Each structure stands twice: as structure tokens, then as C-alpha cells.
Amino acid sequence: MDSSSFLTSLATSFVIFIVLVLLYIWLSKKPGNAVVYYPNRILRGLDPKDNGSKSWIHVALSSTEQDVISISGVDTAVYFVFLSTASGVNDISSYISNLAHKTFCLFLLVSYVVNFLIVFIFLFMKKESSRLWAFFLAVYWVSFVTYFLLWKAYKHVSALRANALTSPNVKPEQYAILVRDIPSVPEGQTRKEQVDSYFQNIYPDTFYRSMLVTDNKVVNKIYQELEGYKKKLTRAEAIYANSKATGKPEGTRPTHKTGCLGLIGKRVDSIEFYNEKINELIPKLESEQKSTLREKHLSAALVFFTSRVAAASAAQSLHAQKVDTWTAIDAPEPRQLLWSNLKIKFFERQVRQYVVYIIVALTIFFYMIPIGIISAFTTLKNLRKLLPFLKVVLDEEAVRTVLEAYLPQLALIVFLALLPKFLLFLSKAEGIPSESHAVRAASGKYFYFSVLNVFIGVTVAGTLFSTFKSIQKEPKSAVDILANSIPENAAFFLTFVALKFFVGYGLELSRIVPLIIFHIKRKYLCKTEEEVKDAWTPGALGYGTRIPGDMLIITIVLCYSVIAPLVIPFGVAYFGLGWLILRNQALNVYVPSYESYGRLWPHIHVRIIAALILYQVTMFGYLGVKKFYYSPILISLPILSLIFAFICNKKFYRAFHDTALEVVAQESKETPNLEQVFRSFIPPSLNYEKSDDDQFEDALSQVSRTGSFV
């Protein structure tokens, strides 16, 4: 890639970005689009526009961490700690509003200036050894700045987590533990009696009651069917009411065919049909609920305690002498509990985990093989042979050019698009009990995939060292090289980063795609209020794919920070811009789908260090190739990184894995409503008719309420 094409691509990206930002400013002001640009605010019952005339940038910058936590949860706040750590511009907001942080930011500013100086100075040095010395010092400098930032961030996140857990608001998951691997029921006892007597015996004073995990497959299916019919009924009624309103006095009663996709079968009156179906399903659901609660007990249970300390302590303690029975962990939030994974047994989980690791390793290393085979079969020639009727089209010059360019990558593109979902599926197959944990696991796998394939695949195996050489050959014209002919790979990655932050964040901010989809849906598909709401309800931030993407950028920035220092401003811009735009999105758009109280962080931390070590090893290799006399000293850096990782792990990690008792010791003044805590864990399919409360008392509480609390 030559310099002009690089600049062209950069300029194009930038123009697209500006257009998207302007689009955002224009579109977001239209009241009809408020549900697309401010869904989070609307869902919380706020006016989308109460910031008055302040620009979105101003609002994002002046928002505090506490705002983010209260609006979007601790996990989102932790993600911002990550972004600001990565961009090095820690606490942008507090820098502006709070003078006390100025010294720290000053330090960072100095750190960047020093970094630039070191790197640029070497370009003017004439003696090769001097330049290598500059390289050498820069590697140390970058490493220590990274250690410092990571340490500060880990400490900060740990405090965030402690604060969130200390909060006196009753969170149901803080009063419960998840017990798996319950041994088979002894003769003459029910599962319920077994579980209750076991915990009653160990915790006579703090045990409240237990909820057996049941096999909800059938009941869930009926429930979803029922909900589906209810939605369809509302829709049919809305269409009917609409047709009445638009003139016809009687209205047209909507009809549909009962067969496949509504295309075949008998035509029926929709409202009647759905009503009939619903009336059929309700008793079926009720009886299935009863039989599920009575009979379909699995070997897992949720156990509730009367205090947070008791639950936190129980989640960390070994209960049974047989370690693989009665295993307890802290209960995940009700909304992120993966019910179907709870029955998987101790050693089965271990086996599944390793099987999944092997599959992932095979995927990472050999994914090109099946893709290559598919590509080989989908050449133009083969297409013409297999699908002769396309011959006419394929012989057109323009079509051929486009297809020749994209066809070989088609399989790869499909593969890359499906990969995150595939990895999430694999992670859930490990037997992980909570959604957030599964997302973390999938995100970790994706990180290794992207670093190993995208980064190492393109760089180290390819031409990283050749770029080193080209600078080496003409040291005098180093600045020229940097400016005019940026090393091939570096240019590739610079374009990549620029594309990602200009176009990626531009699309993110402008929400063009969701906007179009929403308007199409509202115009042509949605008939009821509920359907309209479904059309705009936003998702979560999606850490699973976002973080590995960011990690790849960090790896690129670190590894090129010395050899192609132009990457540094690009990296800072990526994370700075990301911080700004995602802050806006977090405050106004996305609604988190779960809360893990910052458990995300240790995961991010370890992978940043992995990227750092990759950088240090690469530089060690480079200086070794250059026969720099002192390069063996660089071997101390990866070791230092490992020690740093070890110390951080020892000092912080366990507080993320377990709940420290001191942070939950401050019980809220009023006694929590434990009944409500208990009920919040009942899945909706088992909680259908609120009026029918006795049923749970019957079935769930055969021996319950044995706790001293009631």
C-alpha cells in the first residue's frame, strides 16, 4: 500500500465519520427517532431531551462514573475503566471537572510525550547502536507505563465492585447460593426434604428455604407457545380495531391459514382461533407446571439465606466431604441463570470444558482448511458448471469482477460473522451456569482467535521483520519512510484501526441500521404498541465481541508502538473516541442484560498482559536479530510481566471470584422481603398466573419455611 492510497483510505474513512456524526446530530433531534437514540432514557421514564441545549459530547464528558453505574451498571463502568486505561487518558470527565486529578493526567501526558520523544529521537540518530538503545529504552518505558495503568485500574475496579456489593439495595442473588451435584435422594425422602434437612442441619439459624431446580423444557415450550398466541391475538385484535376505525362499520375480521407459514391449510378467523388455542393451552400449562414442580427435580437447587454474609460465606465453603457433591457457588442473577446447564454433573463439566478447549484450539489453528476447501469449490468456473443457468450473468464483465473479488472470501466472511455465536454456544456447552460467565468465556476464546490469526497471521509470519529491514537500510531517510512509505504492515493495521474507529464508531453513534430497521418495522409490520416497543428496545453493549476487538487494537498498538509510532495517536484516538461515543450510547441507548459486578475485569487484565508479553517478546526477537549487545536484558521484561500478573492475581483476583464478607456485612436496616427474593428466581414459565399462588406453596414448599426466619 503506497502512501497516497493510505491517505485516501484515511480521508475516506474520516469523511464517512463526519457524515455519520452530522447525520446523528440531525436525526437524533427528530422526535420520531427518540426511541432509537434514547431508548434507555425512555425505558427509565425520563424525558429524552432534558439536557436542553447541551451537545451530546458535553453530556458524555460531564457524566460521572456514578451516573454510568446507576444507569447501566457496574459492568459498563468497568468497560469504561478499560477504555480510559487503554487510551491512557484516565478519567477524562474528572480531569475536566476535578482539579485534583490533574497531576495524574499530567503524568500521563508526560508519559506520552516521553514516548514520542524516545521514538522520534532514534529516527534522527545516525549510529545504529544509538537507535537500538532508543528502541530498548522505549520497550521498558511502554512496559512500565502499562504496569502502572493496569495496577491503578485494577485497584479502581476492585473498589467499584466492593461499592456495588455493599449497596443496601436488596439484590436477590446476594441472598442465595446455587448448589449443584446433589447426590441421589436417599430412600424414604423427597428431594425437597433431602435438600432442606441438609442445609437446615448446617445452617440452623440462617437457612431460609430452598428452590429445587426443575427440568423446564416442556413447560417452557408450552409457555412460549402460549405467549406467542397471546401476541398474535393482540395483533389480530389491533388489526380488527384498525379496520373498524378506517371506515368499515363492521370491520374486516382478520383471517389466516393454519398450515406452514400461513400459506396453506384451512383459512380461519384469527381472533377466534387464537382465543381457542389460548384456552386450550392455559390448563395444559397449569398441569405441566404442577407436574414439573412436583416431579421433574434435577440434582441442583437454589438455597436462600436470611443474610447476605451467610450466603456469601456458604458460597465459598466446602459443604461435603465428597468434594464432587453438594458443590456451592454464589447464585447468578435470576435473569442470567442458564437453567438447562444446572443439571450437568461435576466431572461432566470438567470433561465438557476440556472437549470445548480442544475444539476451540482446532478451530483456531485449522479454520482455514474447511474454508479453503469451500472456497476452492465456489470458484467462478465451478459455479458455471454447477449452476449453468447463471452462465449469462456470470459472463458479464462487471459481475465477474465483483464476484472474483469477493467469492474466495465468502466462506471466510460467513465464518467470521458466525464465529462469536459459535464460541458462545461452545462456552455454554461447557456447563457454565450464568450468561455473563459464558460471555466472558466466549470473549476469551475470541481474543486468542483474533490475536493468533489476525495479528500473528498477518504480521509475524508475514512481513513484520521485513519492515524492520526497510527502515534499517536507509536510516537517514527514516522520517521520509515514516511519512511517505509507511511500512506495508503498519499501513495495513493503521488503515484497519482507522476504519474501525471512524466507520465503526460512526455507525455506532448514528445507529443508521437500527434506525432504518425500526422505521421499516413500524411502517409495515408492527400493529400493536407492544410490537413497536419490541422494535426499538435496544440490546446490551455486547462485551463478548466488543472486548476481543478492542484487545486486537491494543495488541496492534503495543506491538507497533516503537517501530511505527504513528500507531500511537491512532490507538489513543480509537479508545478516546470509543470512550466518548460509547459513553453516549451507554447513557442513552443500551440496556444491560445482566450485571456481574465487574467480574469482567480480571479477564481483560490478563489479556492486556498477554498482549504486552507478545510485544516484549517480539521486540526481544527484533533486537536479537539486529545483534544488539544488550538485548538479552530484555528477557527480563516478559518475566517481569509474569510476576506482575502473578502479584495482581494474588492481590485482587479472589475478591472478584468470591464476595468478600466485609463488603456485605453492612446489612440493610430493614429486613429484606425474603419471600420476594425467593419469588424473583422463579422462571416466568412456572410463574404464569399470579393469582394461583398457592400452587407454589404446595409444590415448592413441601418442607420449606423450615428456616427460623419465618
Residues at the interface with its own copies (CB under 8 A) = 158-159, 161-162, 198, 201-203, 205, 309, 312-314, 316-324, 326, 346-347, 350, 647, 650-655, 658-663, 665-666
Our CB check for its own copies shows the closer of 309 and 490 to be 309
Our CB check for its own copies shows the closer of 41 and 161 to be 161
Measured CA to CA, the distance from residue 177 to residue 198 in angstroms comes to 14
Q: How far is the CB of 169 from its own copies (least distance, A)?
A: 18
Measured CA to CA, the distance from residue 451 to residue 558 in angstroms comes to 12
Q: How far is the CB of 48 from its own copies (least distance, A)?
A: 37
Residue 329: strand pairing partners: 178
10 Å Cβ neighbour count for 323? 11
**Do strands 255-257 and 297-305 pair parallel, antiparallel, or not at all (unpaired)?**
unpaired
Q: What are phi and psi of 235, to 5 degrees?
A: -60, -45
Our CB check for its own copies shows the closer of 325 and 687 to be 325
Q: Which residue type sits at 195?
A: V
Our CB check for its own copies shows the closer of 161 and 428 to be 161
Q: How far is the CB of 208 from its own copies (least distance, A)?
A: 15
Q: What are phi and psi of 327, to 5 degrees?
A: -75, 130
Q: How far is the CB of 185 from its own copies (least distance, A)?
A: 16
CA distances from 210 to 19, 137, 187, 297, 301 (A): 57, 60, 20, 12, 7
Q: How far is the CB of 70 from its own copies (least distance, A)?
A: 21
Q: How far is the CB of 444 from its own copies (least distance, A)?
A: 21
Q: How far is the CB of 663 from its own copies (least distance, A)?
A: 6
Q: How far is the CB of 376 from its own copies (least distance, A)?
A: 34
Q: How far is the CB of 555 from its own copies (least distance, A)?
A: 28
Our CB check for its own copies shows the closer of 335 and 654 to be 654
Our CB check for its own copies shows the closer of 503 and 655 to be 655
DSSP state of 669: S
Our CB check for its own copies shows the closer of 202 and 362 to be 202
Q: What are the DSSP E strand ranges found in 291-361?
A: 297-305, 327-330
Q: Which residue type sits at 574?
A: Y
Beginning with the edge strand found earlier in the chain, give each strand of the sheet holding 176-180 in spatial order.
Answer: 207-214, 297-305, 176-180, 327-330
Our CB check for its own copies shows the closer of 254 and 602 to be 602
Grid coordinates standing for 196? 432442606
Measured CA to CA, the distance from residue 163 to residue 679 in angstroms comes to 26
Q: What are the DSSP E strand ranges found in 55-138?
A: none
Nearest to 236 by CA among 530, 527, 521, 533: 527
CB burial readout 426-440, b (16+ within 10 A) else e? bbbbbbbbbbbbbbb
Our CB check for its own copies shows the closer of 531 and 658 to be 658
Q: How far is the CB of 603 from its own copies (least distance, A)?
A: 17
CA distances from 510 to 29, 53, 79, 115 (A): 12, 19, 21, 34
Answer for the pair 629, 156: CB distance below 8 angstroms, yes or no: no
Our CB check for its own copies shows the closer of 46 and 202 to be 202
10 Å Cβ neighbour count for 184? 9
